[in-house]
């Protein structure tokens, strides 16, 4: 478990992003509930959690689209405020829902974003070419955004988020609905960006994606951060091996520290059993169920 933020939060350089007692209420719903979290420069951080956990609300507060009910967010020691355009320029956002200008071409979408962020004409042109190439969209540059495939639209949204060279990239379910091959290409794209120093905050329901990409993950549930660690440590926490068996019409799992322990436990069991290494998805499901008392 993480502590409840009693320690004094450092807002120095090492912690590029600091969330301090961050809370967002919508009427009776507390979408984000006293979130305390620090993310370091050049980290690849994953925010996981079931539907309605508060992930998008957290990202929306960070991207200044909505204001916290209480608490604060610091970027590089600077407190986020709706009017801080300087801070906005340091963040690139890939929102959960598609919001490209459908009646504009891929190029025009990037051009518009570049203008909004005050890029000069020549710089804009160069950056657009660079990003279209990077996202493998150069040959679709002059197609209307609405005519691109789902995967191409996602890539265009990433390109758009990168137009103004942000230090932090926020991606809210960027790979939803993509086929396996395109998703893997997106992973490489994200890895490459992070390797070049970009700090990445990603939300995803593809737990495998977080396991592969993220240095650390936070698990949210009911607006609260309930776990925070590296994927490997989280897996170790529930057990590195899983024993699966079918009972009363459902698949049940038991976790063990070693394969040997799992084999021993399975010894007297009837019917088909399966022993395999546990992954982050097993851990996620176990921890999520525990936290909601399921
Ligand atoms: N604009 C809003 N008005 C009212 N309630 C909201 C609003 N935005 C979010 N909520 C509520 O806040 C809670 C958290 O929603 P949020 O979108 O942050 O979850 P999420 O973790 O991103 O979920 P998902 O995985 O489904 O995208 C939900 O109960 C949601 O209904
Ligand atoms: Mg969401």
| pLDDT range class, residue 82, cuts 50, 70, 90 | low
Tell me how far apart the alpha carbons of residues 194 and 167 are, in angstroms, rounded to a whole number. Answer: 10
The ligand 1 atom at the shortest distance from the C-alpha of residue 53 is 21
Whole-number mean pLDDT of the chain? 91
Tell me how far apart the alpha carbons of residues 41 and 58 are, in angstroms, rounded to a whole number. Answer: 18
Task: Compute the distance from residue 254 Cα to the ligand 2 centre, in Å.
Answer: 30
Q: What is the DSSP letter of 135?
A: T
Domain 15-232 CATH class label? alpha beta
Assess whether the C-beta atom of 26 lies below 6 angstroms from ligand 1.
Answer: yes
In tens, the pLDDT along 165-175 reads: 999 999 999 99
Q: How many CB atoms lie within 10 A of CB 141?
A: 16
Tell me how far apart the alpha carbons of residues 202 and 258 are, in angstroms, rounded to a whole number. Answer: 31
For ligand 1, atom 25, the nearest C-alpha belongs to 51
The domains of the chain are located at: 15-232, 234-291
Q: How many CB atoms lie within 10 A of CB 257?
A: 11
**Percent of the chain having pLDDT more than 90?**
77
Q: Is the pLDDT of residue 193 over 50?
A: yes
Mean pLDDT value across residues 59-69 = 94
Q: Which of 22, 47, 52, 284 to mutate to test the pocket of ligand 1 (most atoms within 8 A of CB)?
A: 52
Assess whether the C-beta atom of 52 lies below 6 angstroms from ligand 1.
Answer: yes
Mean pLDDT value across residues 77-92 = 83
From the CA atom positions of the chain, what is the Rg in Å? 21
In tens, the pLDDT along 118-145 reads: 999 999 999 999 999 999 999 999 999 9
Tell me how far apart the alpha carbons of residues 227 and 218 are, in angstroms, rounded to a whole number. Answer: 6
Give how far the C-alpha of residue 291 lies from the chain's centroid of Cα atoms, to the nearest Å: 20
Q: How many CB atoms lie within 10 A of CB 88?
A: 18
User: In 3D, which of 103, 99, 221, 212 has the Cα closest to residue 161?
Assistant: 99
Tell me how far apart the alpha carbons of residues 163 and 124 are, in angstroms, rounded to a whole number. Answer: 8
Tell me how far apart the alpha carbons of residues 9 and 168 are, in angstroms, rounded to a whole number. Answer: 20
Assess whether the C-beta atom of 140 lies below 6 angstroms from ligand 1.
Answer: no
**241: region left, alpha or beta (phi > 0 left; psi from -120 to 50 alpha):** beta
For ligand 1, atom 1, the nearest C-alpha belongs to 26
For ligand 1, atom 18, the nearest C-alpha belongs to 54
57-79 per-residue burial string, b: 16 or more CB within 10 A, e: under 16: bbbbbbbbebebeebbbbbbeee
User: What pLDDT sits at residue 86?
Assistant: 82
């Amino acid at each position: 478990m993480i502590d409840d933020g009693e320690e004094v939060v450092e807002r120095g350089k090492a912690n590029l992003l600091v969330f301090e007692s961050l809370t967002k209420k919508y009427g009776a719903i507390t979408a984000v509930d006293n979130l305390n979290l620090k993310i370091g420069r050049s980290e690849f951080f994953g925010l996981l959690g079931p539907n309605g956990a508060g992930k998008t609300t957290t990202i929306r507060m960070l991207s200044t689209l909505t204001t916290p009910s209480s608490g604060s967010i610091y970027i590089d020691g600077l407190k986020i405020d709706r009017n801080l355009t300087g801070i906005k320029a340091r963040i690139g956002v890939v929102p959960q829902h598609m919001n490209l200008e459908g009646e504009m071409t891929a190029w025009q979408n990037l051009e518009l974003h570049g203008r909004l962020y005050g890029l000069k004409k020549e710089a804009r042109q160069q950056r657009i070419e660079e990003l279209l190439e990077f996202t493998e969209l150069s040959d679709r540059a002059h197609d209307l955004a609405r005519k691109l495939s789902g995967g191409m639209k996602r890539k265009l949204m990433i390109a758009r988020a990168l137009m103004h060279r942000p230090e932090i990239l926020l991606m809210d379910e960027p790979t939803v609905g993509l086929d396996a091959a395109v998703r893997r290409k997106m992973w490489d794209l994200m890895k490459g960006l992070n390797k070049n120093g970009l700090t990445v905050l990603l939300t995803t329901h593809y737990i495998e994606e977080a396991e592969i990409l993220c240095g650390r993950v936070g698990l949210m549930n009911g607006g609260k951060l309930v776990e925070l660690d590296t994927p490997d440590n989280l897996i170790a926490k529930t057990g590195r091996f899983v024993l699966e068996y079918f009972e009363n019409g459902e698949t049940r799992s038991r976790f063990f520290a070693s394969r040997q322990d799992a084999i021993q436990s399975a010894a007297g069991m009837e019917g088909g059993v399966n022993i395999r290494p546990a992954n982050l998805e097993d851990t996620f499901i176990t921890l999520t169920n525990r936290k909601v008392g399921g």
